[in-house]
Each structure stands twice: as structure tokens, then as C-alpha cells.
Amino acid sequence: MKGKILIIDDDESMRELLQLELSDEGYDVTLAESGLEGMQQIKDNQFQLVILDIRMPGMDGIEALEKIINTQRGLPVILHSAYSHFKENFRTWSATSYVVKSMDLTELKEAVHNNIKPEGA
Amino acid sequence: MSLQGSKVLTFILAGGKGSRLYPLTRDRSKPAVPFAARFRIIDFVLSNCINSGLRHVYVLTQFKSLSLESHLRLGWNFLANELGEFIVAVPAQQRISENWYSGTADAIFQNMHLLEDHRPEHVIILSGDHIYNMDFNELFNQHLADNADLTISVMPIKKTEASEFGVLTVDENGEVDSFIEKPKDPSLIAGEGDECFINMGIYIFKTTSLVKELAKDAREKTDHDFGKNIIPGMLKRFRVRSFDFLKSRFGDYWRDVGTIRSYYDANMDYLHQTLKRDAKYGDWRLRTTGEQLPSAFFGGAEGVTMEHSTIGSGSHIVDSTIKNSLIGRNVVIKAGSSVENSILCSNVTIGANCRIKNAILDHGVVVHDYRDIGYDLEAEKKHLFIADDIVILPKHFEY
């Protein structure tokens, strides 16, 4: 395995697409459908990277990002949103990377490859 | 360009524990410690803000914040909320973390939502526990003229005293080229003998540069501190300029009152400056909270001898001698007593025939008849708190 990745996204089809594609690349992928579930997964597991949707019901991606930064310092987080305007929001700037959702996953895969934390680091 | 009306948001870092000011900080944070028997330490920076035209001010509190928050509510809640103006205390809300602020930069980072709400063009960050007067317009205008990402106010002090501070070196254009927090061997100012530039904890940032650096710092395992991490990390990558406080309008006085001795000395400096204060500061008012009280009363058969001292309203002094001292509001001094080189905060009562010198009496202290304080430190230290040869009676202490 190339590393454990957590995907937090309320869109089931997006979760499944990312799981399929990233598993094919050799990553161990875990899914969460909400910010709260994602935070619990992060508490219970050691991940090397998180892919985080922004617009979700309940705890959104911005709130989840701030909590991850404060509880798991150094864990890379890629914000993955259908909206580019959240890039302007100061509260998203602490993410490691920001990728706008697209059916072409090249940019996202590159961001994963460039930012995933080595296991044990 | 004036700060008033500009898109500037101000944060005052007011979470300082002030451990070395114990017992004055036993029940309150350092910015809430009384000063000159009339003010609180934080009144200086808040007055500077108001006098400079800053009307959007968040005061970030943390430890023992009740006294400070009460002071802000009673004394500083006067701005026009309907015009969007405010001075507001922001307690450490543990909004995104169960921890207290881990450093000065973390305090701002954890309140990033306030920056997002206001979207200012520049952010001023100040410390709530320094004694100084400053027109921040001078700093702001230089910051704009330099198109700086960060402008830091600096002042020269003797090398022997510099190790307690962040020490900078600057090039001939005012660009900061090195910054070390509390160095063992501080770097000197070129051509200025044994003096060093120190960081005064007065910053103005371009907002986007600040957010970039806070976000970067938040991802890393650091102390999350402006002096240790943010500023050194910005050098050479950003335009970081120094502002020479000494050349500014009120640039001859700034004190970090970190110890009982420096606190006492700063109080005495304030007293000595009183004679020339009006001429020097004019309408640069120092304000605080204040209840309506009658004028001070001096009386008795022999009268009161007073020399080089200030007395607060509502005080009642009979047949006593006051010399070189700061006396707060509602202080009672009964017949036959003397007070010398001391600070008596509000609501202190001194009985008859007492002698007090080189002492700090906090709010509400009661001294009974025939007591001496500050006359035999060896004997007194069995009953009283003494630091730096100054006797301190904490709030509501009875002796």
C-alpha cells in the first residue's frame, strides 16, 4: 500500500469514484460521508492524507479542516470542492492544497501524490 | 491616509498571565493590572487605538479574564455599534480546539473567522500589556508607503537589557534582515555602540500575507508564535520593514512591565511625567473606566502635607504626609500617617499613625492603626509579600 487516505464527501457517487480510482493507484482508501464521521475516523485511525469536500450538511469542510489542523497537526488535507470561490475564504488557506472537482482526476491524483505523508512520519 | 475609515482590523493580545507580576496577577491577567492607581495597563493600548482612529478592535483574552472583560464592558463600551464600531473582548472559545491558545500566532489563527467576516486590507496586532503612547497613523502610513507585507515597530535599548526581547537587525532601507527571539548574544545596531533594536510587539500586516503565514504555520509543528516562528519565517520571502519608534511623535517612552521592579518604576515614571504631561500629550487622552465620585478631601487640625503626588477623586485624607506617591480613588488615610514612594490603588484604607514606603497596595487593602510597611523588610517578609525590595499587599489584604 502507498498510504492510507480518508475521503470525506457527502456525495456518494464522488466517494465511490475516488475510492475506485485511488485504490487502483495502490492507496488504502477509507470513506466518510460527513464531517463528523470523518473526525471520528481520524481519531480512530492513522491516515497519511485526507481529501475533504467543503459543502456538506452539518459540519462542513471548513469546520472539519480547522479541527483537523488543531488535532492532527501535519496531516495533509486536500480540499476538494465543486466551487472555486471558496479559495477566497481565508479559512480554507490552511489546507495543503485546493482542487476543484472535475471528472478528470489528474489534478487531484497529482495533489495526492505530491502531498501524501510518508507512513510513520 | 488616516486609519479612521480605512479597512483595518485590530487585535489586542491580552491573554498574558504576567506570572512575574504576582501577586498583582493573582486574580487577573496582566493587562488588567492597575496602573498609576487609576488606570489598567490595557488602557494605554486602547487609548492609543481610539486616539489613532481605530474603531474595530478585538481584545483576545485567555487566563483569568473576568476582571479584564468587566473593565472593557464598563469602561470601553462606548463606540457606535450602529456604525459598525466596536471594542469587544473575545475569550478563548476553544471553537476549533479543546486547547488554549498555544502561542500568539495561534490566538489569531483560532480567530480566523473574524478576519473572514471583516475582510480587512490590513491587520494591526498589538500587545495589551505595554505602557506607551503611539499614533498608529504614523506606522500605517509608512507601511503603505513601503508597500510592506509586515511593518514592525522597533526601538533601541542597551544590549545588556535586550535578551528578554525579540532582537532585530535592519539594513539601511529599514528592511528587517534578521530576527531572533530572546537571543543570548543580541546583535547590535551598526554604528550605534552597544544598542540593539528590539521588537515592541506592535505589528501591521497586509491581510493576505498574514493569513498565508498563519495557515502555513498552522500546518507545522511549531510554537505558533509571532516572535519565534511567523516573523523569522517571513524574512527574505516577504517585504518586512521596521518602524523606528524613537522618531515617532511620542517615541521617547515604552515599557514592558514584566517584573514588579519594572512595574513599580513605570508607575513612578508616570508620576514624574505628570508635570509635563499636558504640554507633551495635549489632546492625546488616556482614558479608563470611572465612577462619579466627589472631589478628594484634605483636612484635619494639622492638615495634609503633599508633595509630588496624585490623589484620586473620592479620597479622604486627614493630618497626613503624602510624598512621591500615586493614590487611587476612594482612598482613606487617617491622621498621623505617612505614605512615601508608594502606589495605593482604589478603595485602600490606611489607619491612623501608619508609615508606608516603597509599597504597592492593591485594590481594597486595609491597613490597621500603627502599622509600618516598607521600614523593616527582614521582619516584614514573615507576613508580607516582598519582591525587588518592594512590599506588595494583594487585593483585599488586611494587615
pLDDT tens digit sequence for A112-121: 999 998 776 6
Closest Cα to residue B186, out of B172, B246, B152, B194? B194
Q: Which helix (H) or strand (E) holds B13?
A: strand B8-13
- Rounded Cα distance between B186 and B56, Å, is 36
- Rounded Cα distance between B128 and B150, Å, is 19
Please name the residue that has the C-alpha cell 491573554: B15
- Rounded Cα distance between B299 and B311, Å, is 14
Identify the pLDDT of residue A121: 63
Q: How far is A70 from chain B (nearest CA, A)?
A: 6
* Region for residue B272 given its phi and psi (left: phi exceeds 0; alpha: psi -120 to 50; beta: otherwise): alpha
DSSP-assigned letter for residue B161: H
How is residue B106 written as a grid cell?
A: 495561534
Q: Tell me: the pLDDT tens digits for A58-73?
A: 999 999 999 999 888 8
- Rounded Cα distance between B190 and A41, Å, is 56
How is residue A36 written as a grid cell?
A: 463528523
Q: Tell me: the pLDDT tens digits for A92-113?
A: 999 999 999 998 999 999 999 9
**Which domains does chain B show, CATH number per domain?**
8-275 (3.90.550.10), 297-393 (2.160.10.10)
Identify the pLDDT of residue A98: 97
- Cβ atoms of residues B319 and B303 within 8 Å: yes
Closest Cα to residue B3, out of B112, B134, B107? B134
* CA B74 to each of CA B35, B68, B197, B289, B366: distance values in angstroms, whole numbers, following the listed order: 17, 10, 37, 6, 25
Selected residue of B96, B110, B119, B217 to mutate for chain A interface (largest A Cβ count, 10 A): B96
- Rounded Cα distance between B4 and B53, Å, is 4
pLDDT values of chain B reduced to their tens digit, one per residue, 399 residues: 888 888 999 999 998 888 899 999 999 999 999 999 999 999 999 999 999 999 999 999 988 888 899 999 999 999 998 999 999 999 887 766 667 788 999 999 999 999 999 999 999 999 999 999 999 999 999 999 999 999 999 999 999 999 989 999 999 899 999 999 998 988 888 777 899 999 999 999 999 999 999 999 999 989 999 999 999 999 989 999 999 999 999 998 999 998 999 999 999 999 998 777 777 778 888 888 877 899 999 999 999 999 999 999 999 999 999 999 999 999 999 999 999 999 999 999 999 999 999 999 999 999 999 999 999 999 999 999 999 999 999 999 999
Note whether B97 contacts A: Cβ–Cβ < 8 A: yes
Other Cβ atoms less than 10 A from the Cβ of B81: the count is 10
Domain ranges for chain A, please list them.
4-115
Q: Which of B96, B97, B221 sits opposite A74 (nearest CB)?
A: B221
Comparing alpha-carbon positions, the chain B residue that sits nearest to A76 is B219
Largest CA distance in chain B: 72
- Cβ atoms of residues A58 and A35 within 8 Å: yes
Identify the pLDDT of residue A51: 98
DSSP string of B103-137, one letter each residue: SHHHHHHTTHHHHHHH--SEEEEEETTEEE---HH
Instruction: Give contacts of B219 with chain A, Cβ < 8 Å.
Output: 69, 73-74, 94, 96
- Rounded Cα distance between B150 and B207, Å, is 9
- Rounded Cα distance between B61 and B88, Å, is 10
Other Cβ atoms less than 10 A from the Cβ of B330: the count is 20
Q: How far is B224 from chain A (nearest CA, A)?
A: 12
Identify the pLDDT of residue B189: 83
Identify the pLDDT of residue B340: 98
Please name the residue that has the C-alpha cell 478628594: B296
Comparing alpha-carbon positions, the chain A residue that sits nearest to B219 is A74
The pTM for the full model equals 0.92
Q: How buried is residue A14: exposed, middle or buried, by Cβ count under 10 Å (0-12/13-18/19+)?
A: middle
- Rounded Cα distance between B132 and B203, Å, is 15
Q: Tell me: the pLDDT tens digits for A3-44?
A: 999 999 999 999 999 999 999 999 999 999 999 999 999 999
- Cβ atoms of residues A47 and A78 within 8 Å: no
Strand order in the sheet with B385-387: B310-311, B326-327, B343-344, B359-361, B390-393, B385-387
Angle at B204 between CA B200 and CA B209, to 5 degrees: 125
Residue type present at position B192? E
* CA B341 to each of CA A23, B290, B353, B399: distance values in angstroms, whole numbers, following the listed order: 77, 25, 17, 19
Identify the pLDDT of residue B97: 67
Identify the pLDDT of residue B98: 66
CATH class of the structural domain A4-115? alpha beta
Comparing alpha-carbon positions, the chain B residue that sits nearest to A75 is B219
